[in-house]
Homo-oligomer: A and B are copies of this chain.
Amino acid sequence: MNPSTCVKSEIIAVPDLPMFQRGDDLPGIIFERACAAGLAFVEHDVVVITQKVVSKVEGRAVRLSEVEPSPEAVELAAEVRKDPRFVELVLRESRGVVAMRPDLLVVETRQGIICANAGIDRSNVEQTGESEWLVLLPADPDASARAIQSRLESLSGIKLAVLIIDTLGRPFREGVIGMAIGVAGMDPLMDMRGQADLFGYVMERTIINRADEIAASASMLMGQTTARLPVVIVRGASYWPGAGSSRSISREPWKDMFRPQGYLRLGKA
């Protein structure tokens, strides 16, 4: 690296995106609007997309009135003081309940993500008719990311990575931040073990979650309410290209000291 050159990264929101609907050609629209705004893709760009629009396009919206709660959901709903139909949806999307208390239900989702309410919510979802619409996480966010990556690469002729992100809470620290839940085209982790530091000391344990750092930087621009910037290009970030998968982000339960040991696993894989 030339020490006199400014090292720089840019976070650029793709402008003028529509309200996405089920069945929309998400990568096609992203590519078209990026080009229209003069944002030609550059090798190694990371295209970061909020989970909500991926789920909408994939038809992962559910009408609350059409959900029939199981006895298990009714019981749990009383404990956490939530709508039994909502709890039913959360349980359907989960492998197990990790922690709960009134007003909070933390689960491990089918995708292996530990988060509140299995990532299900109703914000920024158009409400039509009398019953509430809720949006689930994409069924397989890595597959969604790969499909979008492949389409964007063939449209642009440029090698890209794609992240699907959501804003998630964490133990110990207040406030949600953007994190990667679907990964394509990059190794989410940069394993620096064995590399030498400034003084030749070989680092023993540093593994950087670069996907989550990129997710947080994109989230910084997306906003949460009326900004409507669901797609952000992160340009100039260093990462290791590769097939990649969000699975390598989820810590194995046996390695995790903060996962309650006897937590409720539901009767399914």
A residues with a Cβ closer than 8 A to B are 1, 3-13, 15-16, 19, 37, 39, 99, 101, 104, 106, 114, 122-127, 167, 170-179, 188-190, 192, 195-199, 201, 203, 206-210, 212-217, 219-221, 223-229, 236-238, 248-251, 256-259
Contacts and interface: CB of A to CB of B under 8 A. Distances in A.
B209 A213 contact: no
A189 B171 contact: no
Main secondary structure of the interface of A (DSSP, over half): loop
9 contacts: A4-B15, A9-B220, A10-B10, A101-B257, A126-B199, A174-B248, A175-B208, A175-B209, A176-B206
A222 to B, nearest CB: 9
A209 B3 contact: no
Protomer copies: 2
Contacts of A209: 173-177
Contacts of A203: 123, 224-225
B177 A216 contact: yes
A199 B127 contact: yes
